[in-house]
Structure 1
Amino acid sequence: MTVTQRDTSNDTSGQSWARMRRSVALTLGGLWAERITHAFWPIWTVIFVSLAALMLGLHDSAPIEAVWAGMMTAAGALVWFTWRGVQAFRAPTRAQALQRMDDRLPGRPISALMDSPAIGGNDPASLALWHAHQARAATAARSANAVEPDLRVSRRDPFALRYVAVLALAVAVLFGSILRVGSVSEMTPGSGPALATGPAWEGWIEPPSYTGLPTLYLADLGANRVEVPEGARVILRFYGKVGELTLAETVSGRTGDVTPASDPEQEFTIASSGSLRIDGPGGNEWQIAMRPDAAPQVEITGEAETSVEGQMTLPFTARDDYGVVGGTATIALDLDAVDRRHGLAAEPEDRPGLEIPVPLPISGSRTEFTERLVDNFSEHPWAHLPVRLTVTVEDGAELTGQTLPTQMKLPARRFFDPMASALIEQRRDLLWTRENGRRVAQILRTMSHRPEEGVFKRETDYLRLRAIIRDLEANLVHGVSTEKQEELAQALWDLAIDLEDGDLEDALERLRQAQERLQQAMKNGASDEEIARLMQELRDATRDYMRQKAQQAQRENEQAEQDGQPAPNDGINMTQDDLQRMMDRIQELMEQGRMAEAQQALEELQRMLENMEVRQGEGQGQQSQGQQAMEGLAETLRDQQGLSDQAFRDLQEQFNQGQQGQQGQQGQQPGQGQQQGQGQQPGQQQGQGQGQTPGEGQQQAEPGEGQGQGEGEGLEQSLADRQQALRQELERQRGQLPGVGGEAGEAARGALDRADRAMDGAERALRDDDLPGAIDRQAEALDALREGIRNLGEALAEDQRQQQGGDNTQMSDAEGAQRDPLGRDPGSRGQSMDSGDNMLRGEDVNRRARELLDEIRRRSGETARSEEERDYLRRLLDRF
């Protein structure tokens, strides 16, 4: 039986081709994408970049020439890359797709399916082997998959420009708009009518910044008359085809190299009135009226007033159309008007003129204001000599205005003590020229030769003058240097001040002289200005007398405490309110012309001042426990403030070696530092109300002092001991606080507890030589002590109100009886505990604030002060 073998190789091959048909089609499509990408990738790179620029609207802000250049470049690039792509492109075939698939298969089965046997076609065995090979190839070909195309063009695009283009398009899609693409058509020729739908130009007029005027937009003004300040800047922008819009103006006065009238950007400054016209589609015309910038004006509106201390106050008024920005007051010596006699007969040394910054209003308008020049020239060599004063102010345009030179004598302090006045005169002669040195020495020696009793109230003043004479004569041999001239002048000034201010008798004499001058002016019918000046002089003399009186009362009370006797309690009590009311009453009577009544009231005031005694309290035995606690805490607060001041001075010595010698004399010895820094020993407060003597307090305040302390111990160790004693005293006071309750009482105890911890930290810092840290802790202690005293006072007042049923009349009377002549509540030693509202009650607060502001201004302009202090003063001026 013969079996015929069936040829299945063709069937298997047909099935394989059917299964590969989809993979072949995908591979062929990938080949098309691959070859298109390799040939034409620069085309869509250019398209993406161009489209991104249009969507972002770059063509709207770029010059039209740049836009046209970009468009031509993009079009040329598209043509060039298209031609290169067509040249390089080759269309793929099905055989190439099969070849790529066959390359991915092991043994190349697809090529085997397409092959035919070269020999053995009639040999059954060869045919059987071929069919088996075909069957195996067909089976392998069934697993053939589509091959992905190779779309990488990194070798053709090494700089990744295609990714930059894609990123730019993505940014344009996010932040741009497809609607902007159409606006590029408005830049093509023949699109002129489309420009009429929007403004073809823009323009602004910017006034100078110092005028504070707003910018004007020309498109909103229409064809109107426009008034602008001098120096205003005109800015114009022309859009559309270059040359369609042109500028014509007669306001800038430009000559020489002028920007063409058709330039798309125009900018110039208005220098005169005239016309401004834009010719072309949508143009307009304006009549410009330039308002000239007037120079500022300034005038002196009153006479210079001089206080008892020599501070000059000179009112002036300044105005400008846009505001004054600065100015200077210049003072020059009027040599022709000087009485050239005695020490002024010689030729003076050259000295620069005085320059004072003109004060400006801190707030408000500076177009017109009234201010005052405030300064003290008492120590200047030209004091009381004829000078010429000129005030100059400047505006934002650097235009200046000034007053006519004012002839005056340089205001300065007047000395009424004959010896002090003579010393000041010789000081003036020495500063006039150093050639007067021998003459000054002779006159000073004559003044100090066998002085009569009463000429020098203190022997030390006489000795100081003799030392000045010896120093001056010793320098006459080789000539007095400039430095020695200034040193001797300062010594003479200090001595004259001490002689003039003197003690209580001197203050009382100045008060009597001020009263006599005022009475004489009232009798002679002096002018209102003269009466006001003398009244202010009386107020200043009274203030000085009250200060001297308070210091005397303090010394008497301290002496009484040391002797174990009650404080003196005889005399008339006056508060600041009483004194102020009497002063105001006298001035009111004088203004009303009732001179007789005013003179009688003035005499009554004089008698009251002479018989006045400064009351410091009713004695420790009559004080309540709360009052004793308040006074003790106030004493601790003052001692802590003094200790903090001494620590701060020691810290300054470390950074200011130039003043080490002067400060070292004050801070090297512990005992001296304590007296100068505080005036009292910290432990002295322990004796208040407890019957202890000051000596006992000192021993507690300075443990170890006089008990073998080595001379090599530093001041920081002494400060640490004093801080420790002060903390121990605070602990004792906390234990003796009255049993006050309520929130205020608890707050007081908490504040004192914080003060104790801060003092302990300050002590540790002082022992570690950490002065900055110690000062910080001491500041915390001061704040806590103030808060504790305030809360304790509130708690005591609340308890007293509850005990009296809300009637505090008796308490007010008792407090009023214990106040000093300035209306302050005194401490146990006459030092004020209160600087609150009583200090300004009945007084012109605005006037006092102005005086403080003037003083801050004056000190901020003194170059002799440290830069840190001047910076602090300038910050105060900026704040207030």
Structure 2
Amino acid sequence: MIWERAARAFWPLAALACLIFAALALGGAVAVPPALLPWLVGAGLVALVAAAIRGGLRYRRVRGGEAVARLDRTLPGRPLAALADRAAIGGEGALWQAHLAQMQGRAATARAVPPRADLAPRDPYALRLAGLLALVMALIFGGAGQLGQGIEAIAATVGRPLAEAESPAGPSWEGWATPPAYTRRPTIYLNALAEGEALELPKGSAVSFRLYGEGLSVVQDVGGAVGEDPQAPGFRAERSGAIEVAGRRIAVSVLPDLAPVIRAGAAPTRRADGRLVQDFVAEDDHGVMAGRARIDLDLASVDRRFGLAVPPEPREAVDLALPLPRGGARRAVSGQLVEDLARHPWANLPVALVLEAVDGIDQTGSAAPMRVVLPGRRFFEPRAAALIELRRDLLWSRENAARSAEILRAITWRPEGFVTDDLYRDLRGAVGVLEGGGLSVEARDKLAEALWAAAIQLEDGGLADALERMKQAQEKLSEAIRNGASPDEIQRLMDELREATDAYTRMLAEQGRQDPAERFSRNQQGQQITGDQIQQMMDEIQRLMNEGRMAEAQQLLEQFNRMMENLQVTQGQGGEGQQGGEGDPSMNRLADTLREQQRLSDEAFRDMQEQFGEGRDGQPSGNAGDLAQRQRDLREQLGQQRGMLPGQGSEQGDQARRNLDEAGRAMEHAEQALRDGDTGGALQDQADAIQSMREGMRALSDMLGEQGRQAEQGQQPGQEGDEPEGQPGQGNRAGADGATRDRRPMLDPLGRQLDGNGNMIPLNDPLAEGADPAQRARDLLDEIRRRSGQRERPEDERDYLGRLLDRF
């Protein structure tokens, strides 16, 4: 009740005090003209006094009886008042005692009454909230410096009339020195300086005065004047000197602003993807504001032959912004410039690189010029390299148009088996443009882009040379591993090998008219290889390189090379050698369903990426319902295909059906996850469905292959017979000694010798049991690592596990 009555009485005083404090903390006193400031101060004081008097008159002291009555009103039947009553008649009777007992019980339930000031009816315009908001803004955005300046300004303004009363002819003044914002130094109030105290200012500081009275002036020799108001003179501090105002002399020492210093690291390097990488370090006494790299052609160092013999056309220097941290003082920064200049006409030509840093007053510091070759993409395919050279010559000068047309004609002569039809038409069109005469800048730039695209197609495309590209990628990766190349370069070459391998398998697929990811393939020795096994082997090579086990990665890479050289595609037309059973209608229908499931999984993954990219944090998109319906259709389609599978009652046929049942359940879970918006869970279920379908197709393929071999040997399905050496049934064994034709042993992911030539683990090997032998081998190795790290295991066991890891 004390708080309630105090709030009702003194809320205007509190709101007014908050407003006045906010005005001072936010610099309001300094912004008000000096002539108006005393009136505002006086009005504020009068308002505070009036609010305090009003509150004192309205406040009433809380008495004990009022507190009891307030509490009693919250209880049913006013028990406190009832307990204070006295019975006029029959005070000792049982009825009266029962009444008192009842009131005591109710009084025992009393609880503290929460305060309630009810200020809304008393403050209909919410002035109290305005004062509270102003206080919060002042605490967040205000500062002690501004509060002090405001108090000093009020003190000076209020004190001036007193001084004038003592000395009526004495004028007054105020002054401020504001350093440049980039120095992050506070404003200095000159009136607060002690007599004889020197003033130190950074170069470029703004000094301003406010003169009160007649006959006052400011005399200074530290910088040029700013503004024309004689009552408010201002200037910038550029040199040391003195300021005199109203008989007072202030010595000023201007601190020099040193130019920034920037140093380049080592010469620019070429990243694996062809980007320029340049390290730098920059320093400044007040902070680096900007940085740039300027690249000019070093014409004196250019080999002026062939297309570079003619004078170059004028071209502006390359100006690149250096990356700087967003926050902080930036007095000392280090960074790295990464830029893709592979398409620039000066790529792979001598250039002069200069790094520059700029401070807050536009002073520039430069590093010593570096004479380097501008990094760019390298082209290894001869035709692509020739097109890039033609592009460079055209961008060097349009006078090379006739010469470039002749060379382009030579490149496109007899294109059969050398250049694809689409690329040939594009290049012949470029010849016509070059020979047309009057090549404009726009046409030249357009032609340069076309030549770049053609070179990229020749360098990275060309399915006709896919096998050669794959061999080259394998050789470059092997050489990089042997020479200890950087991890970045090895990773780039590994990516090139993946791309080349994919291109080669696509070429084989076009020959066989099948999808390499969905069919069973085999090498010339008759050993079956799946697209998954190829990918698993690539992943194993990548894992070994990531772990630093380069010797093992090199050995597995050589095994992979021999496997891919012998790779062929099963045509799937039935008859001799068709072990995979790809020509069977059931297999074809399952392959189509598997492809559709993979496409659906890819779309679900892209949808999840878009969800998080748009900031929806996994919220379901509008496409989720469509994906779920398509998943349902695939599940029903798979159920129909399962009922039409051949081989019912056989071990492999029943295994295929069980695998398809598991795939159907995984599809059902994926459908529900898509409807619930759980895209991540749906992707996992879809991956399980794909794996189960592949296992079912593998079992069905084995069954069809066995039936085909039995038919060739004149046996009924299910009969046993010996297969002569060298027949397809023996295809999984290259030799009893477990070596390849070059007698080098083949090893599995655990380092053990394989019976075949490394393309797959033999069926009678224990690791072949289960759905994925390579994955099982990796799981076994991971389990060995896990157990070897458990200190609670016996030392003998951990020593044994350590020897296993050293061997494998």
Q: TM-score, normalised by structure 1?
A: 0.45
More helix by share: 1
Higher RCO by CA contacts (8 Å cutoff, separation 6 or greater): 1
Larger Cα Rg: Structure 1 or Structure 2?
1
